[in-house]
A = this chain, B = another copy of it.
């Protein structure tokens, strides 16, 4: 019997989850829940419903796992604990510093309800985190490095859009090749985030706007750009739509470590992603963890879990003997 899924929130991530469910034969999308007027939300899955989110309680016994696709700033801190009262769930809460608090809040509810709630599933946090953990456990004497990109940073693009005279903007975070190569050489350099990445901005300015001032404001923006090598290109709205409408991303987790009685041997573990669509890949990770949440719940587990707590076998739709035979 297929795993019945609900999607809460239908933006880019929610649409990606819908696609990932379509591509998972063991799953079925039951309904998309939205805060908008359901009449205005058109989804691609003909067999699923669109419902107002105040109908969620009625689906308590009709959905195995609810996938939360809201934002980490305002939606998930409230929604995840609330949904955990009645549903197994997966979210992709990605504000790294607030994860311990989010974990505690979701765990309190999931322990009471007996449900399994997996938080912070995606690629970072998510697959990158798992790879940082495995690599550090295997090579305790060493250092790890996370590089992001080349990819669109939504937060940085938004920051540019808030500058006076900017119509639209797209910001790419790009790993610096020299830094990547230094890490891969095993040299264990000490590198700040700004020494690992550069930022490339494509900006559409209003007619007659002062481009020099805009460029200066971007490059001097604290936290976002001031500590980075930043390039700014002014382009037309047509060019932005034509050349920068996709949402690619990716990155690298590299651990450089030593072994040997006197640490005489060097090793490099590298995990990398090259993604055409950041939200669709994130959604694909989430959906594999939804499978795990459902299985763990059926086996009597409960409470909040992270990607660190899930045996990899639970992510696969295949039997244990099949994965041993085919993948081990």
Residues of A bordering B, CB below 8 Å: 16, 18-20, 22-24, 44, 96, 99-100, 103, 120, 125, 127, 129-134, 136-141, 184, 259-261, 263, 265-277, 280-281, 283-285, 288, 291, 306-313, 315-317, 320-321, 323-325, 327-328
Q: Are A315 and B277 in contact (CB under 8 A)?
A: no
Contacting residue for A321 out of B16, B100, B275, CB 8 A: B100
Q: Are A100 and B312 in contact (CB under 8 A)?
A: no
How many copies of this chain are found per oligomer?
2
Q: Which residues of B contact A127 (CB under 8 A)?
A: 134, 138, 269
Q: Which residues of B contact A268 (CB under 8 A)?
A: 272-275
Q: Which residue of B lies closest to A144 (CB)?
A: B327
Q: Which residues of B contact A327 (CB under 8 A)?
A: 129, 132-133, 136, 308
Q: Are B324 and A99 in contact (CB under 8 A)?
A: yes
Q: Are A310 and B311 in contact (CB under 8 A)?
A: yes
Distance (Å) between the CB of A184 and the closest chain B CB? 8
A16 and B144 CA atoms in complex are apart in Å by 22
Q: Are A129 and B307 in contact (CB under 8 A)?
A: no
Taking A276-B266, A311-B309 as contacts, is the C-beta distance between A133 and B261 under 8 angstroms? no
Can you list 21 A-B pairs with a CB-CB distance of less than 8 A? A19-B259, A22-B261, A96-B328, A100-B321, A100-B325, A127-B269, A129-B328, A133-B315, A133-B327, A138-B281, A138-B284, A184-B274, A267-B275, A267-B276, A268-B275, A270-B271, A272-B272, A306-B313, A308-B324, A309-B312, A309-B320
